[in-house]
């Protein structure tokens, strides 16, 4: 399972797994029950350097890559998907757009705190009419002197309303020419007049992660808050999303493994008709299939991460990884719940939470159908 990992990568994985088991797991049920993101856990992740993993040292990062980030996210996803997605979104959607497309001033202002976990940021893309079809964006931004004036709404925005959220980078239509929308990305600091972080969602899963709808009514920010070139927002978003799919695949693999580990332990300890459940062939075959799914999902996201880190095309591999790992998480959550029987329907047990949490892995950062489109395009069918 770890044949392709270096000694340094193995050490990182072991460190984060220990942190997950000793710090994250004990608070997971209560955090889920109360819909509360533990800022103490976030702070400790920052102290471990997890938010800076794929960034170079010269900007305050750890000098790692997406393989390192994926290993950390997978380890956290085993025990608490809400914490894992907080890290994933904090890096892929919060800090990465600033690092990849921001200017020197934006990097200097925002990256030190984002990479240290002292601050979080969100990425405002999704709207009621614009999710997978990001080109349908209705939020607008117009220049008025040296300021952007932003109007519109976003939904399902992660890390947008925590006590340490500094800003949201939003996609907005900055011009329409010949029927085509020019989409740009703009930094909107939290607390800006007219920018409202609405009440959090009552979600089915990921209940301890921070997710809000956002509204913008005549929001004014400096023209210098434009991230990257004007009109390049859609293209830049797609590149960020491809990388994020690798991280989501790693999270899903961790969830699938967490379900497998819990199901094995429960099957060994549960007595049915005078013998351990693990002695029953049906249970053995179920667990074997779960193991195969974890292995396949891990190989897929490792492959995509290695391609990305080597500077090679990886969009199709990322789509395959997200598709395979999302399926593995859902299937393993269902099978683990069946192994647990009635206990699997109780939120106190991690498999019950994984059962609720894992569905979004087939939706967020590109639905299953979008991944199939990407793969079909790679086959030359589109």
- Residue 132 sits in a domain whose CATH number is 2.40.110.10
186 forms beta bridges with: 170, 226
Q: Check: CB of residue 88 under 8 Å from CB of residue 144.
A: no
Are 138 and 115 in a shared domain?
no
Q: How far apart are CA 151 and CA 138, in angstroms?
A: 9
Whether 365 sits among the annotated catalytic residues: the reply is: yes
pLDDT at 1: 52
Q: How far apart are CA 26 and CA 36, in angstroms?
A: 14
Q: Check: CB of residue 222 under 8 Å from CB of residue 103.
A: no
264 forms beta bridges with: none
CA neighbor of 38 nearest in space, from 113, 94, 117: 117
Residue 244: inside a domain: yes
**DSSP category for residue 38:** -
- Does the model's pTM come out above 0.75? yes
CA neighbor of 171 nearest in space, from 158, 182, 159: 182
Interval 200-234: pLDDT, tens: 999 999 999 999 999 999 999 999 999 999 999 88
Q: How far apart are CA 234 and CA 170, in angstroms?
A: 11
Are 106 and 207 in a shared domain?
no
Are 126 and 172 in a shared domain?
yes
All residues at 6 or more sequence positions from 345 whose CB lies less than 8 Å from its CB, including other chains:
337, 352
Are 219 and 270 in a shared domain?
no
Residue 145: inside a domain: yes
Are 282 and 368 in a shared domain?
yes
pLDDT at 135: 74
With 0-12 CB in 10 A as exposed, 13-18 as middle and 19+ as buried, what is 145?
Answer: exposed
Are 253 and 370 in a shared domain?
yes
Count how many domains the chain has: 3
pLDDT at 178: 74
Q: Which of 243, 316, 362, 365 is catalytic?
A: 365
Residue 174: inside a domain: yes
Are 245 and 128 in a shared domain?
no
From the centroid of its chain, how far is CA 191? Answer: 25
Helix (H) or strand (E) holding 196: strand 195-197
All residues at 6 or more sequence positions from 310 whose CB lies less than 8 Å from its CB, including other chains:
none
One pLDDT digit (tens) per residue for the chain, 382 residues: 556 899 999 999 999 999 999 999 999 999 999 999 999 999 999 999 999 999 999 999 999 999 999 999 999 999 999 999 999 999 999 999 999 999 999 999 999 999 999 999 999 999 988 876 777 899 999 999 999 999 999 999 999 999 999 999 999 999 988 778 999 999 999 999 999 999 999 999 999 999 999 999 999 999 999 999 999 988 888 888 899 999 999 999 999 999 999 999 999 999 999 999 999 999 999 999 999 999 999 999 999 999 999 999 999 999 999 999 999 999 999 999 999 999 999 999 999 999 999 999 999 988 999 999 999 999 999 8
Q: How far apart are CA 82 and CA 28, in angstroms?
A: 8
**CA dihedral defined by 308, 314, 317, 319, rounded to 10 degrees?**
100
Q: Which of 70, 86, 119 is the last residue of a domain?
A: 119
Are 244 and 357 in a shared domain?
yes
Are 242 and 367 in a shared domain?
yes
Residue 37: inside a domain: yes
Are 174 and 243 in a shared domain?
no
Are 48 and 96 in a shared domain?
yes
Question: Domain of 70: which CATH number?
Answer: 1.10.540.10
Residue 1: inside a domain: no
Q: Which of 230, 248, 264 is the last residue of a domain?
A: 230
221 forms beta bridges with: 148
Q: Check: CB of residue 123 under 8 Å from CB of residue 97.
A: yes
Residue 28: inside a domain: yes
Are 103 and 141 in a shared domain?
no
Domain enclosing residue 147, as ranges: 121-230
Q: Which of 74, 100, 119 is the last residue of a domain?
A: 119
Residue 2: inside a domain: no
């Amino acid at each position: 399972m770890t044949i392709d990992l270096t000694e340094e990568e193995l050490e990182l994985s072991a460190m984060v797994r220990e942190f997950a088991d000793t710090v994250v797991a004990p608070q997971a049920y209560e955090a889920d029950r109360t819909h509360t993101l533990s800022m103490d856990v976030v702070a400790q992740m920052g102290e471990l350097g997890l938010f800076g993993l794929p960034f170079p040292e010269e900007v305050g990062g750890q000098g790692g890559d997406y393989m390192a980030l994926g290993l950390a996210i997978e380890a956290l996803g085993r025990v608490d998907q809400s914490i894992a997605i907080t890290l994933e979104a904090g890096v892929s959607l919060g800090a990465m757009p600033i690092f990849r497309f921001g200017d020197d001033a934006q990097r200097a202002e925002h990256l030190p705190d984002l990479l240290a976990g002292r601050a979080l940021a969100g990425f405002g893309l999704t709207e009621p009419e614009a999710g997978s079809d990001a080109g349908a964006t209705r939020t607008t931004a117009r220049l008025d002197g040296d300021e952007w004036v932003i109007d519109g709404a976003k939904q399902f925005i992660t890390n947008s309303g925590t006590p340490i959220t500094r800003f949201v980078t939003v996609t907005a239509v900055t011009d329409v020419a010949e029927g085509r929308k020019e989409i740009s990305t703009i930094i909107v600091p939290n607390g800006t007049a007219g920018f409202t972080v609405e009440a959090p969602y009552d979600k089915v899963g990921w209940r301890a992660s921070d997710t809000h709808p956002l509204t913008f009514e005549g929001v004014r920010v400096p023209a210098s808050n434009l991230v990257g070139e004007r009109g390049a927002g859609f293209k830049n978003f797609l590149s960020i999303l491809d990388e994020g799919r690798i991280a989501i695949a790693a999270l899903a693999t961790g969830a699938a493994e967490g379900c497998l580990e819990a199901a094995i332990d429960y099957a060994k300890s549960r007595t049915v008709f005078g013998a351990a459940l693990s002695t029953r062939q049906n249970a053995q075959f179920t667990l074997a299939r779960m193991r195969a799914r974890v292995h396949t999902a891990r190989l897929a996201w490792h492959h995509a991460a290695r391609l990305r880190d080597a500077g090679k095309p990886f969009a199709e591999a990322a789509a395959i990884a997200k598709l395979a790992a999302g399926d593995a998480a859902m299937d393993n959550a269902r099978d683990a719940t069946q192994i647990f029987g009635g206990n699997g329907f109780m939120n106190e047990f991690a498999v019950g939470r994984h059962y609720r949490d894992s569905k979004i892995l087939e939706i967020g950062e590109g639905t299953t159908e979008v991944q199939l489109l990407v793969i079909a395009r790679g086959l030359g069918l589109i």
